[in-house]
Amino acid sequence: MKSRIIGTGSYVPKKVVSNFELTKTLDTDNEWIVSRTGIRTRHIADKQSGETCSFMATKAAQQAVDDANISINDIDMIIVATLSADYKVPSLACLVQEQLGAFNAAAFDISAACAGSIYGLSIANSFIVSGQYKNVLFIGAEMMSSATNWQDRNTAILFGDAASACVISSSNDDKSGFIDFKLYADGRQHKHIFMPQGGSLEAVDEEGIKQGKDKLFMNGRETFKFAVRSVTDSINDILQKNNFNKENITFIVPHQANLRIIEAVAKYVDVSLDKFLINLDKYANTSAASLMLAYDEANRNNKLKKDDLLLFLAIGAGFVWGASIYKV
Ligand code: UT7
């Protein structure tokens, strides 16, 4: 039994914020942001007009279900990867289940930050290849604007809001679908990206809010170095384990954090940058949503052909990271 993606969808908020707009409130400039990150714009949700995290997730999910051409009642499980859900409790997956009316589905969230995408796909795949479920809806949904300290130029320039989704289904076609996953974690690095307040350890207080402790803190330089090293190693690992070489890969779908990270990885594994599907210039880093946002764009633009071999890559706070090989 294999699992394959049979439908994709995404939602990005209507409001586009350019680097130039950020310079009105931050000591930064367009040239710095473009040269250090590759980001030109990001989409920011407007909660007042109803663009909540669950709204974005549901929109992306509905599109994926329509694309898959299945009934809402056929969804057996909803998995959402997010660090910016509407509530801490209950899960975003339960809100999406309600909004979709997918009442035959089990529903839960996972916490793996920006690597929630690859962890989520892997969990969905496991439920299917074990024979337990037939159709799993996987969603990455992020309201990163609510987790960002807009006074901190180290992080405020990096993130955007979005949701992406895919329906993963069982398939008897042994020649296509997910071939393998490799997931990794190194908890010793957890202080490089973390939110000091708002957990059970430290409640949010006034002083904390002033210091931005209720928002994401990031050690950018260490994150950058770790990301390049670990993502490069994960590519080599998974190719070797499956007896593929880099020439076999049609496209690489990386987490969209920073163009310089992708360029460095491309250089280390000696793969042309043309093979990487990149859209972070428009959407910035949308955390758990980014991987499927790039895949959905390629899918909708008919860029992917039957038998293409794809390599999915993601890394996030923890650090957690992973890779997967997928045949279209
Ligand atoms: O999913 C994982 C999420 N996180 C990431 O992927 C982030 C990974 N890290 C990065 O992308 C990069 O480290 C950044 C883009 C965050 C920063 O780029 P960098 O080349 O590592 O810059 P830096 O932190 O070493 O800072 C260089 C200088 C500093 O000034 P001084 O100390 O040299 O005077 C910063 O204060 O750039 C300054 N700087 C800025 N200047 C203008 C930092 N942010 C900005 C800014 N605009 N937005």
pLDDT tens for 74-95 read 999 999 999 999 999 999 999 9
pLDDT tens for 167-220 read 999 998 888 999 999 999 999 999 999 999 999 999 999 999 999 999 999 999
Band of the pLDDT at 4, cuts 50, 70, 90? very high
Q: Closest Cα to atom 8, ligand 1: which residue?
A: 224
Residue 41's DSSP bridge partners are 18
246 φ, ψ (degrees, to nearest 5): -60, -25
Quickly list DSSP for 227-272: HHHHHHHHHHHHHHHTT--GGG-SEEEE--S-HHHHHHHHHHHT--
Active site residues: 114, 255, 285
pLDDT, mean of residues 123-133:
98
Q: What is the DSSP letter of 323?
A: E
The pLDDT value recorded for residue 66 is 98
Band of the pLDDT at 117, cuts 50, 70, 90? very high
Residue 303 has pLDDT above 90, yes or no: yes
The pLDDT value recorded for residue 175 is 87
Question: Measured from the CB, is residue 223 less than 6 Å from ligand 1?
Answer: yes
Band of the pLDDT at 47, cuts 50, 70, 90? very high
Its pTM stands at 0.96
Yes or no: say if 144 and 161 are a contact pair by the CB < 8 Å rule.
yes
Expressed in angstroms and rounded, the spacing between residue 14 Cα and the centre of ligand 1 is: 27
The pLDDT value recorded for residue 174 is 86
What is d(CA 273, CA 281) in angstroms, rounded to the nearest whole number? Answer: 15
Residue 286 in tokens: 């949308």
Question: Measured from the CB, is residue 168 less than 6 Å from ligand 1?
Answer: no
Residue 112's nearest CA partner among 323, 320, 289 is 320
Range 180-191 burial, b when 16+ CB lie within 10 A, else e: ebbbbeeeebee
Question: Measured from the CB, is residue 30 less than 6 Å from ligand 1?
Answer: no
The closest-lying atom of ligand 1 relative to the alpha carbon of residue 218 is: 4
What is d(CA 282, CA 313) in angstroms, rounded to the nearest whole number? Answer: 19
Q: CA dist 64 to 36, 99, 176, Å?
A: 33, 14, 19
Residue 313 has pLDDT above 90, yes or no: yes
Expressed in angstroms and rounded, the spacing between residue 34 Cα and the centre of ligand 1 is: 12
Strand locations in 120-231 (E): 135-142, 162-171, 177-185, 193-194, 217-218
Question: Measured from the CB, is residue 35 less than 6 Å from ligand 1?
Answer: no
Question: Measured from the CB, is residue 259 less than 6 Å from ligand 1?
Answer: no
